[in-house]
Amino acid sequence: MSDQQSCATHDQNHAVKHNIVAIRHRLEQALHRAGRPTGSAALLAVSKTRPAAILREAFEAGQRLFGENYLQEALEKQQALKDLEDIEWHYIGALQSNKTRDVAEHFSWVHTVDREKIARRLSEARPASLGPLNVCLQVNISGERSKSGVTPEALPALAEQVLALPGLRLRGLMSIPAISDDPEQQRIPHAALRELFEQLVRRYPQAPLDTLSMGMSSDMEAAIDEGATLVRPGTAIFGSRD
Ligand SMILES: *Cc1c(COP(=O)(O)O)cnc(C)c1O
């Protein structure tokens, strides 16, 4: 590696640590403004496309939860970072049947369960020694924009099926709403997801439902205003992905 390269890497690492501190502050400010307790929402650092060394820097700055979208890339980074004992891996990418075994074996959480077949395969593939896999159901909350995600209408039936699977622990809901740069517009899909979550909690008071996974770099505040318990910033921590 040339001096120039190592210097660039150093600056980038320094930026990540700085950004972790800044985003924690941003999150606490948002919670405070929303009248919510400190620490009532967690930060999932979305690290797709970032090299393992950068994740390690974030870990050294205190970050523990990492979200990955691409299975092969994630497995390679997990291998490179296996010395980090309390790192927690969340799978937030598209799920096909041929990925369920690796996801069930190598992640603590999956945020993108949106159909029964995938849920059943994840449950069957989950090693008993790891305990149930934590899952959020992905809801297609803005309708047309994304094809993944269960519709709000089909959500109750899917929740019922997932609750019956021994290898899964249903923790809550997740969404990727249509993009808007207007904070008031941003709140609408987040409020809709919260509503669906509250209905689920009323319907299944015994279920371990405690997670609303919503809000990314540009709509974190709106998500916190609407009750997000897990926000998923990527670019705000690691820079743009181009
Ligand atoms: C990429 C991604 C994010 C992070 O988005 P940013 O705009 O970089 O903050 C969050 N959630 C999911 C599901 C993603 O795919």
Residue labelled with tokens 């096909």: 96
Residue type, 156: P
The range of the structural domain enclosing residue 181 comes to 3-238
Amino acid at 34: A
Determine the distance separating the centroid of ligand 1 and the alpha carbon of 233, expressed in angstroms.
6
- Probe ligand 1: pick from 71, 92, 145, max atoms within 8 Å of CB? 92
Q: Quick one: average pLDDT of 65-88?
A: 98
Taking residues 143-158, report their average pLDDT: 87
Mutation choice for ligand 1 from 232, 237, 240, 241, CB with most ligand atoms inside 8 A: 232
Please compute the mean of the pLDDT values over residues 168-175 and round it to a whole number: 98
Q: How far, CA to CA in Å, does 77 sit from each of 90, 158, 182?
A: 13, 32, 35
Q: What confidence score (pLDDT) does residue 145 get?
A: 59
171 within 8 A of 210, measured Cβ to Cβ: yes
Nearest to 120 by CA among 139, 104, 143: 104
- Class of residue 25 by CB neighbours under 10 A (exposed 0-12, middle 13-18, buried 19+): exposed
SS3 230: strand
Q: What is the pLDDT of residue 9?
A: 54
Average confidence (pLDDT) over 173-195? 95
Report the pLDDT value the prediction gives residue 241, as an integer from 0 to 100. 84
Question: Is 234 close to ligand 1, i.e. is its CB under 6 Å away?
Answer: yes
pTM, two decimals, is 0.94
**pLDDT (0 to 100) of residue 5:** 44
What average pLDDT does the segment 122-131 reach? 98
* Residues 120-145, mean pLDDT to the nearest whole number: 94
- According to the model, what pLDDT value does residue 71 have? 98
Taking 50 as the threshold, does the pLDDT of residue 216 lie above it? yes
Percent of the chain predicted with pLDDT > 70: 93
Q: How many domains does the chain have?
A: 1
Residue 142 structure tokens: 């803005």
- CA distance to 20, 29, 81, 190, 228, per residue, from 64 (Å): 11, 20, 12, 25, 18
* 235 Cα to the center of ligand 1, angstroms: 8
The CATH number of whichever domain residue 201 belongs to comes to 3.20.20.10
90 ligand 1 Cβ < 6 A = no
Q: Express each pLDDT in 98-124 by its tens digit.
A: 999 999 999 999 999 999 999 999 999
In this structure, the residue with its CA closest to atom 11 of ligand 1 is: 232
In sequence order, what E strands does the chain have?
A: 42-43, 45-46, 65-68, 88-91, 109-113, 133-138, 168-174, 211-213, 230-231
pLDDT of residue 13: 61
pLDDT at 142: 87
- Give the burial class of 182: count Cβ atoms within 10 A of its Cβ; 0-12 exposed, 13-18 middle, 19 or more buried: exposed
